[in-house]
Amino acid sequence: MRFLFLIACVASIVLVGLTGAAAAEVATVETVTVSVQAGDAPPPSRVIKRMEQSIATVGDHVLAGRKVADVDSGKASYEKLIKEIFDRVLVGYSVQDVSITPGPTSHIAVRIQPWGDVVRNVVVETDLGGVSPQLGALFKSDMGDVEDKVRQVLVGMPVDSVDWAGSVTKAVIREYLAGQLPEFRTNIEINAGQTTTVKLALVPAGPVVKDVRVMLRSHTIPNFLLIEARPSVEEAGHPLRGLPVAFVERHGDYFKDMLLKVAAAQPVTGRYGLEMTSTLRAGATTELEISAETTRYNVSLEGYLDMGRNEKNDTSARLHVGQYLGRQDELFMEVTFIPASVTWEFVPGWGHRLGPQTVAGIKYSLSDKQGLIWMKQDLSDRWSLRLERTPATGTNEAGLRYKLHEFLSAEYIFTNHNRWLRLVGNL
């Protein structure tokens, strides 16, 4: 029995040994890894990575699937073959040495050395197309340190290698600018030399601004007093044409401030002590509205034309002259002229601001010897609601007004017994 057990053990050892030998004979190269070492001026990591990927692709074709033993025995030939291939492919570099470590995962170590002139400086030129030169500073700020990004890729590389490394450079630029200027596509041209020039052309992506409408208006002085400032303010809005709508929207504060500076520099601003605020609505037709208000006075002149009202006084004009007493209170006089009867009405009053959009107060008609309670509520930039009540007669009047533009509004009026449409000329 001991003899049979010994025979069985020996047979098992021999069988395992034969199996291992067979496995060793049929072991093949499954994967190929690569490392690239450069001289004193190694290329950027992204370029190194691209080199390693290229070498790995060739290594797969040359080594993958071959027996490890065959690769080991023919190692010198394989190393010579890979060196010859990459001496031709890696333009600007000479392959100093190739070393293969055979195995199921075979490793190829390549040592390279640059030759010839190298890139010492990079100049980035940006073509903004039809964009106004006035916006150059804004684009430069948005583009950030793109020149530094390009230099990190190109400076120190052989001039002859710039062409094949150009795709890496372009990828770096596009990835960076996609985050900095997402509203534009980038076309890139690279001219290699010791001073390499990179030309960037920015092309709008998505809808662009086709027209710009600039509105300069006031609720506290007659709008015709602002006419002298309109040409300069409207011209300041021209640079927005041709820009992507999303870009204008993202930089809304910049463009509002740009117009406010132009408006603030106009003589009318200092003459009446105007304070400017602005609103921007970006779109194919972009609207920029500047509100010019004074904290000293409240002056307005309106002309009324009533339609659907069966009375002779359907045409009139009203002058409102007010003096602010602080931020919330106003003393005023309203003078109404009625051409049909050639009569004048004088109505002094007081107003108190209850909130940013709400004003209420009292008036007293010197002609009718009657008091009046009133309130005005701004519903939006264009819509407003007016309410008036005469306690002595119980008369109520409500007017819903829509501003067509800075010089013309339409108001629909309701009273206890009548209703009509009024066109209001805002002078």
Give, to the nearest 10 degrees, the angle between helix 45-63 and helix 75-89. Answer: 140
Lowest average pLDDT, out of 9-18, 184-193, 203-212, 322-331, goes to 9-18
Which domains are seen in the chain, by residue range?
Answer: 25-114 (no CATH), 121-204 (no CATH), 211-294 (no CATH), 297-426 (2.40.128)
- Phi/psi at 81 (nearest 5 deg)? -60, -50
pTM over 0.75: no
- The lowest-confidence range among 50-59, 202-211, 258-267, 397-406 is 50-59
pLDDT digits (tens, 9 = 90+) for 77-135: 888 888 888 877 777 787 888 899 999 999 999 888 877 788 888 888 888 877 888 88
CB 78 within 8 A of CB 64: no
pLDDT of residue 303: 94
156: left (phi over 0), alpha (psi -120 to 50) or beta: left
Strands (E), 283-366: 285-294, 297-307, 315-325, 329-338, 343-355, 358-365
* Tokens 């600007």, residue located: 92
Residue 252 host element (H or E): helix 252-264
Distance of alpha carbon 65 from alpha carbon 82, whole angstroms? 17
pLDDT at 41: 62
Task: Report pLDDT digits (tens) over 211-253.
Answer: 999 988 888 888 888 889 999 999 999 999 989 999 999 999 9
Contact 309, 329 (CB under 8 A): no
- Mean pLDDT throughout 312-336? 91
Residue 57 clears pLDDT 90, i.e. is over it: no
CA distance linking residue 247 with residue 207, whole number of Å: 10
- pLDDT at site 3: 36
Q: How far is CA 78 from the centre of its chain?
A: 54
Rounded to 10 degrees, the C-alpha dihedral 41/46/48/54 comes to -150
Measured CA to CA in angstroms, residue 367 lies from 256, 348, 360 at distances of 46, 11, 22
Whole-number Å distance between alpha carbons of 377 and 354: 10
Cβ proximity of 198 and 172 under 8 Å:
no
pLDDT band at 18 (very low <50, low <70, confident <90, very high): very low
Distances from the Cα of 330 to the Cαs of 225, 275, 352, in angstroms? 21, 17, 7
Q: Are 330 and 219 in contact (CB under 8 A)?
A: no
Q: Residue 405's beta-bridge partner residues?
A: 408
CA distance 108 to 83: 11
Angle formed at CA 207 by CA 205 and CA 210, multiple of 5 degrees: 120
Q: What is the pLDDT of residue 43?
A: 73
